[in-house]
Structure 1
Amino acid sequence: MTDAIKIDVWTDIACPWCYIGKRNLENGLAATAADDDAPVVEIEYHSFELSPDTPEDFHGGEVDYLSQHKGISPEQAREMLDRVTGVAAEAGLAYRFDILQHTNTVKAHELLHFAKENGRQLELAELLMSAYFLEGRHVGRDDDLVQLAVEAGLDGDAARDALSSQRYRAAVRADQAQAQEYGIQGVPFFVIDGKYGVSGAQPVEAFTQIARQVWGERREASATADA
């Protein structure tokens, strides 16, 4: 039995392109499911903070944030948001920047490490991004994060303790240090089997192709080893 392909994804749950990349990756892998020899894939998410200086409660909309913190005009900010909203729609995601609550994401990253330890990271990652981009929910406060943890099938009291103790903060920093070692400067960034780096929200077909390619390489290596 060939081992699963490992896909490590550096992401920030407040990154609009990361949610698009996540969905395209999932759809790309789904397209291989009917293959006679379908790739087996394991996905793990890693922490990357795009705006670590963001307050827990930012008073203003997304246009305000972009113009105040990124040094671009409100008109440019609206154009950027319109563009990414259109691309998200093509991926089946109905972004709602009009109700989005901008916040610091370090606690969400800590909770994702807690979820990984308890086998629910993929579920929580989806819920966090959906809550942020589609539902206008707050993803920076303990109470809101605990509720999302429960929705992901995690124990609420344990999730609250994980956040209040900050015991996963070191894991967040370790992910960020690894990203720096890899030279990752933007997300999403996908590391396939520890040897291929893929940057950005690639189209569905790109993920389908690389999954099949790497799986084929795995099969060939396994056959050679058995010969």
Structure 2
Amino acid sequence: MSEPISIDIWSDIACPWCYIGKRNLEAGLASTASDDDAPQVDITFHSFELSPDTPVDFDGDELDFLAGHKGMPREQVAQMLDNVTNVAKNAGLEYRFDLLKHTNTVKAHELLHHAKAEGLQHEMEERLMSAYFTEGKHVGRIDDLVELAAEVGLDADATRDALENDKHLPAVRQDQAQARAYGIQGVPFFVIDGQYGISGAQPPEAFANVLRDLWSKRGAPAEEQPAG
């Protein structure tokens, strides 16, 4: 049995393209599931903060934040958000920027590492992104994060202790250091088998094609594999 293909994903909870990229990867994987020899994968999420200087309680809406952060006119920001909302809809997501509560995401990243240690990282990633982009929930405060963690099956007291004591902050910083080492400047960024980089929310078929190609090479007899 071949080893699963590793997929390491650098993303931020507050990155709209990261949630779209996650959905597109899932759709790509779903399209390969019926293959006679379907690719097997092992997915790990890694931390990347797009705006680490953002306060936990930002005073304003997403238009205010992006207009100030990027120095763009509000009308241009509104058009940009409309565009990403439409792209998200094509991926099966209903973004609600009118409800979104912009916040600092470092504690959410710490929570993802806590969930990873408990075998629930994928469930926690999905819950956080859904809460942020489609439900207008706050994902920066410890109380709110503990509540979301409990929803996916994590122990509330253990989660609170981990977040209050920065237990997983070193792991967040290690992810960020690895991103710098790879030269990652924007997310989502997918590292396949530790050697192939895919930047951005690529369409499902792009992921499917790469995974099928890698899996077929992995399963080929040694004498059929290209040298070198």
TM-score (norm 2): 0.97
1:172-191 to 2 correspondences below 5 Å: 172-191=172-191
State the Cα deviation string for residues 89-139 of structure 1 (Å, max 9, x = none).
000000000000000000000000000011000000000000000000000
Count of residues in Structure 1 that have an aligned counterpart in Structure 2: 225
**Counterpart position of 1:165:** 165
Tell me the distance in 2 between the aligned counterparts of 1:153 and 1:216: 37
**Equivalent runs, 1:18-37 vs 2, <5 Å:** 18-37=18-37
Superposed displacement of residue 37, structure 1: 0.3
Q: Pick from 203, 222, 225 the counterpart of residue 224 of structure 1.
A: 222
Provide the C-alpha distance between the structure 1 equivalents of 2:37 and 2:119, rounded to a whole number of angstroms. Answer: 26
Q: CA deviation at 1:59?
A: 1.2
Deviation at 1:205, TM superposition (A): 0.5
| 1:41 equivalenced with 2:41 (yes/no) | yes
CA apart distance, 1:217: 1.5
- Measured in 2, the distance between the counterparts of 1:71 and 1:105 equals 21
SS for the counterpart of 1:114 is helix
Q: Root-mean-square deviation (CA), in Å? A: 1.3
| Residue 156 of structure 1, CA deviation | 0.7
How does 1:48-197 map onto structure 2 within 5 Å? Answer: 48-197=48-197
Work out the CA distance in 2 between the residues paired with 1:105 and 1:152.
Answer: 19
Shift of 1:152: 1.2
The 3-state SS of whatever aligns with 1:170 is helix
2:226 equivalent in structure 1:
none
Aligned to 2:2, what secondary structure does the other structure show?
coil
Q: Which runs of 4+ in 1 moved over 2 A?
A: none
Q: Distance in 2 between matches of 1:148 and 1:184?
A: 29
Q: Unaligned 5+ residue runs, structure 2?
A: 224-228
Instruction: Provide the secondary structure at the position in 2 that maps to 1:138.
Output: coil
Q: Which runs of 5 or more residues in structure 1 are unaligned?
A: none
Q: 1: distance between equivalents of 2:159 and 2:121?
A: 13
Aligned letter for 1:12? Answer: D
Instruction: Tell me the secondary structure at the aligned position of residue 31 of structure 1.
Output: helix
Q: Deviations over 1:146-203 (max 9, x none)?
A: 0111111111111101100101111000000000000000000000001100000000
Identity of aligned residues (%): 66
